[in-house]
Amino acid sequence: MTRIPVITNILAYNDAVARDVRQAIGPRVLTLNLISSPGAGKTSLIERTAAALAGELRLAVIEGDLATTLDAARVAAHGVPVVQINTDGGCHLEARQIMAALPELPLAELDVLIIENVGNLVCPTEFDLGEDAKVALISLPEGDDKPLKYPGIFLAARAVVLNKMDLAPYLPMDVERLRQGIMTINSDASIIPVSCITGEGLAAWLEWVRRELRAKRARISYTKHAESPTP
Ligand SMILES: Nc1nc2c(ncn2[C@@H]2O[C@H](COP(=O)(O)OP(=O)(O)OP(=O)(O)O)[C@@H](O)[C@H]2O)c(=O)[nH]1
Ligand SMILES: [Mg+2]
């Protein structure tokens, strides 16, 4: 029997396009790939972020969904440029779809681009979209065992947002066990508990975004400095 390495080829092609996306976005715009199960609160977090950063940082959003423009409409209501990608059944976004969306965005005027991936805790993990960082979001009702059961995204994420903290008193789950599960898989990840309903913890999330943007821009000055000829 001959095995055809289709998956390897698809990922290699995607990685090549992702490199082009990264170059097209450039060194000044922080790009985040937001990944979670359906309904964990990705769009809610983006809405909160857009409202909080208005007048401070220029944000744009790419929305990935199987169908509808519902999430794009929610984000657009905050006055943020947004492009909706419908995957027509695809369970994750791919770099070629981001590349096709970029001309619709005012890239030269942006500070932060957030890509909301299709609701799925597994498939999006493998597909580089040209982002600077993957952000995993898990909501408390999903249960405290999920990081250990679905380790891939928690390993790949630079930050893990724990959403729906307002529900903690009502749920048969242990937030500390959830934290421990994440740290077992990825002790470097920033763990940020929030509630998009009450606003709890959002200041720490916004500070994480600002810090990542500063770090990305600092890399430009470092690179320029390193490249300049010694006198
Ligand atoms: N109690 C509570 N509910 C929340 C919170 N954040 C979001 N929700 C609710 O959770 C539901 C799903 O939120 P969305 O923001 O649409 O989730 P999503 O991850 O974007 O969903 P998909 O795009 O469909 O994958 C909505 O009814 C929100 O109001 C939260 O912090 N606490
Ligand atoms: Mg959504």
| Nearest ligand to residue 194 Cα | 1
Q: 184 CA to middle of ligand 2, Å? A: 28
Q: What is the pLDDT of residues 28-85, one digit of tens each?
A: 999 999 999 999 999 999 999 999 999 999 999 999 999 999 999 999 999 999 999 9
Nearest CA to ligand 1 atom 27: 39
Residue 229: its pLDDT value, please? 64
Specify the pTM: 0.94
Using DSSP, state whether 137 is helix, strand or coil. Answer: strand
Evaluate if residue 227 carries a pLDDT over 80: no
Contact assessment for residue 14 and residue 93, using Cβ atoms and an 8 Å cutoff: no
Ligand 1, CB cutoff 6 Å, lining residues: 36, 38-44, 71, 119, 163-164, 166-167, 195-197
The DSSP secondary structure of 141-209, one letter per residue, reads GG-TTHHHHSHHHHHH-SEEEEE-GGGGGGSSS-HHHHHHHHHHH-TTSEEEE--TTT-TTHHHHHHHH
Domain boundaries, the chain: 14-207
Nearest CA to ligand 1 atom 9: 41
SS3 content of the chain, % helix, strand, coil (to 5): 50, 15, 35
Evaluate if residue 131 carries a pLDDT over 90: yes
Taking CA atoms, 192 is separated from 17, 119, 179, in Å, by 31, 20, 10
Evaluate if residue 13 carries a pLDDT over 70: yes
Q: 220 CA to middle of ligand 2, Å? A: 32
Residue with tokens 């979670």: 36
Q: How many of the other CB atoms lie within 10 Å of CB of 150?
A: 19
Mean pLDDT score of the chain, rounded to an integer?
95
The DSSP secondary structure of 79-121, one letter per residue, reads T--EEEEE-TT-SS--HHHHHHHGGGS-GGG-SEEEEE--S-S
Name the superfamily (CATH) of residues 14-207: P-loop containing nucleotide triphosphate hydrolases (3.40.50.300)
Q: Which atom of ligand 1 is nearest to the CA of 119?
A: 25
Q: Could you give the percent of the chain with pLDDT greater than 90?
A: 90
Taking CA atoms, 59 is separated from 8, 86, 106, in Å, by 34, 21, 10
Q: 160 CA to middle of ligand 2, Å? A: 17
Evaluate if residue 224 carries a pLDDT over 80: no
The pLDDT of 169-189, averaged and rounded, is 98
Residue 152: its pLDDT value, please? 98
Evaluate if residue 20 carries a pLDDT over 80: yes
Work out the pLDDT band at 133, boundaries 50, 70, 90.
very high
